[in-house]
Structure 1
Amino acid sequence: MLTQVEAGPYTIKGVSVGGVYTSLCVPELDALFDVGIAPRSFVGLDHLFISHGHADHIGALPALMGVRGLSRKGSPKTFLPAPIVDDVREALAALSRIQRYELQPELIGVRPGELHEVHGDLHARVFKTYHPVPSVGYQLLRRVRKLRSAFRGLPGPEIARLRAAGDDIFEWHERLELAYATDTLIDVVDHVPSLLTSRVLVLECTFLDERKERAEARSRCHIHLDEILERADAFQNEQLVLMHFSQIYSPGEVRAILQRRCPPHLLERIVAFAPARGPWPG
């Protein structure tokens, strides 16, 4: 049932069918993006990033929490748009009453522009996406402290002396590892250009050809392949993972259309998040 692809140093595993369900995990980052389904293999991941409140992206949150409870794990650390936190908490409280089992969520409301610590040197920068409901995307990055160039080459004792004296000899460097943007207009990459230089960019591409025109895609706040092709030279990512394809295309059609329409320099970096064979899951 689950699709698995390799993108740069990362394994991305899960399901994504536009309007049906989306849930992707990246084990190397201990990260789960959206929770439209809750497979057993996702239970061990402790950090959940929710893009918005539509059911195909959040509907299986109670199931995930319930299965984690069976495994004696607490709630995952759950990042989600701040405007929906109270509603999600209320919904989980109602379900707790229905099932006579308390779900105790760890909900962290986020807003565009914020930087949140995830674990260790891994952080999540939140950015605005463009959908009819409160929605965000996430850019995971590693923040490492390095010696300022002016102090490089100094002997160890001198560096120790400067540190003891309180001199500011270090600066922060960021490595943009993986970004996730779904259910959004293409405008997101224009307004957040750093997405184009993330090592891996996971980006929705709901519609692929003339069966749905660009204008219709935009009216639904989704991305059409035409809009990606217009920006083909802008994508500097090591891998561009396209996902959230509409079920009007079979997985085989998705690959054939990408093969036919994408220029070679972009195609060689595209990973289609779709089953390698057969129909969509479910």
Structure 2
Amino acid sequence: MSVQAGESWNYDRFNFHGLSLSGIRTAISMPDFSLSFDVAQGYPYLLNLKHYFITHGHLDHAAGVPYIISQKAMNSQPTANFYMPTSLVEPLDQIMKIWEKIEGHEYKYNFIPVKADDEFELNAQHFVKAFPTTHRIESFGYTLFETNKKLKPEYLGLAKEDIIDMKKRGIDIHDIHQTPLVSFTGDTQIEFLDSRPWVRKSKILFMEATYLDDTKGIDHARQWGHTHINEIIPRLKDIESEQIVFIHASSRYSTAAALQLIAERVPREFHERVVLYPGR
């Protein structure tokens, strides 16, 4: 059981920077991949990225979109890509047109509609794939995948010269392996775990855990499209991720209180795999 001070957290070769607190702000970036999951109010650590994956349109997740666009224009940065639920594209486009009238400036931006299972290439080895989540409005989660080529078993042990010759003759000698590295849910009910098999197999899973005690019950959480820790605990055994990162904790909990509740409620066998991401 752990929490990082400040806004940064890392695991293995992956570095994250951001904050997540229910109803207040959620924006967690992966600077090495020039991407962010959600944008909160548009904090400085987000401004130089290229790809923004918006889970849904609530203000604590998406309010920063216009500000990021304006800052990129002011600093002559290339047009960024904002990936978002299809139903969000038109309203956000209208908001940008209103801001253009207010500021007397025409902005450039790419609002890319998302459907379940859409894939978006980042580079030759990495892409992001959308998966459905269940919230009060249209919402998606996103998974960062890594693609690797591996020699097919029947060609293992061949001499280098033979492999080169087979490539020249157009023989497909590789299997393509796609590994889910990082999954991120945004706001959702617990059913996201069953939406796509790769989500709970991701090396790192960022998942909502808004309610951590019994002050508000499961029914209340579900009514608002959120997840209660009492729903998460029975499902921990189903999650294969090396790290399960709780985000979006209610602002009613201090960091110390949230950590204590998690330590008390999560079975000890999972303590080394469960992380509370900083929100303040």
Say whether residues 1:167 and 2:144 are aligned partners.
no
Structure 2 match to 1:75? 79
* Contact 2:131-2:195 within 8 A present in 1 as well: no
For 1:129, which of 130, 133, 143 is the aligned residue? 133
Structure 1 match to 2:241? 237
Question: Which stretch of structure 1 is more off in the superposition, 67-76 or 167-176?
Answer: 67-76
* Contact 1:89-1:105 within 8 A present in 2 as well: no
Question: Which segments of structure 1 move beyond 4 Å, counting only runs of 4 or more?
Answer: none
Please report the TM-score for the alignment, with normalisation by the length of structure 1.
0.92
Instruction: Give 2:158's aligned amino acid.
Output: L
Structure 1 match to 2:67? 63
- Quote the sequence identity (%): 26
Question: Which stretch of structure 1 is more off in the superposition, 179-188 or 16-25?
Answer: 16-25
Structure-to-structure mapping, 1:1-282, within 5 angstroms: 3-274=7-278, 280=280
Question: Which stretch of structure 1 is more off in the superposition, 206-215 or 114-123?
Answer: 114-123
Question: Which stretch of structure 1 is more off in the superposition, 87-96 or 55-64?
Answer: 87-96
* Contact 2:247-2:276 within 8 A present in 1 as well: yes
Write the distance in 2 (CA, Å) between the matches of 1:139 and 1:211. 32
Tell me: CA distance 1:145–1:122, structure 2 relative to 1, closer, same or farther (3 Å).
same
State the shift of 1:224 in Å. Answer: 0.5
State the shift of 1:87 in Å. Answer: 2.3
State the shift of 1:89 in Å. Answer: 1.8
Write the distance in 2 (CA, Å) between the matches of 1:123 and 1:146. 18
Please, which runs of 5 or more residues in structure 2 have no aligned partner?
none
Question: Which stretch of structure 1 is more off in the superposition, 134-143 or 72-81?
Answer: 72-81
Give the aligned CA root-mean-square deviation in angstroms. 1.7
State the shift of 1:209 in Å. Answer: 0.9
State the shift of 1:259 in Å. Answer: 1.1
Write the distance in 1 (CA, Å) between the matches of 2:237 and 2:72. 43
State the shift of 1:65 in Å. Answer: 1.4
Please report the TM-score for the alignment, with normalisation by the length of structure 2.
0.93
* Contact 1:5-1:271 within 8 A present in 2 as well: no
Write the distance in 2 (CA, Å) between the matches of 1:155 and 1:89. 56
Question: Which stretch of structure 1 is more off in the superposition, 147-156 or 137-146?
Answer: 147-156
Instruction: Give 2:74's aligned amino acid.
Output: L
Write the distance in 2 (CA, Å) between the matches of 1:272 and 1:105. 33
Please, which runs of 5 or more residues in structure 1 have no aligned partner?
none
Write the distance in 2 (CA, Å) between the matches of 1:215 and 1:122. 38
Find the residue that maps to 2:206 and give its secondary structure: strand
Write the distance in 2 (CA, Å) between the matches of 1:244 and 1:89. 27
Write the distance in 1 (CA, Å) between the matches of 2:162 and 2:227. 54
* Contact 1:4-1:13 within 8 A present in 2 as well: yes
What do residues 157-189 of structure 1 show as CA deviations (whole Å, max 9, x unaligned)?
Answer: 222222222222222111211110021111001
Find the residue that maps to 1:130 and give its secondary structure: coil
Tell me: CA distance 1:66–1:72, structure 2 relative to 1, closer, same or farther (3 Å).
same
State the shift of 1:2 in Å. Answer: 5.6
Find the residue that maps to 1:45 and give its secondary structure: coil
Write the distance in 2 (CA, Å) between the matches of 1:227 and 1:148. 42
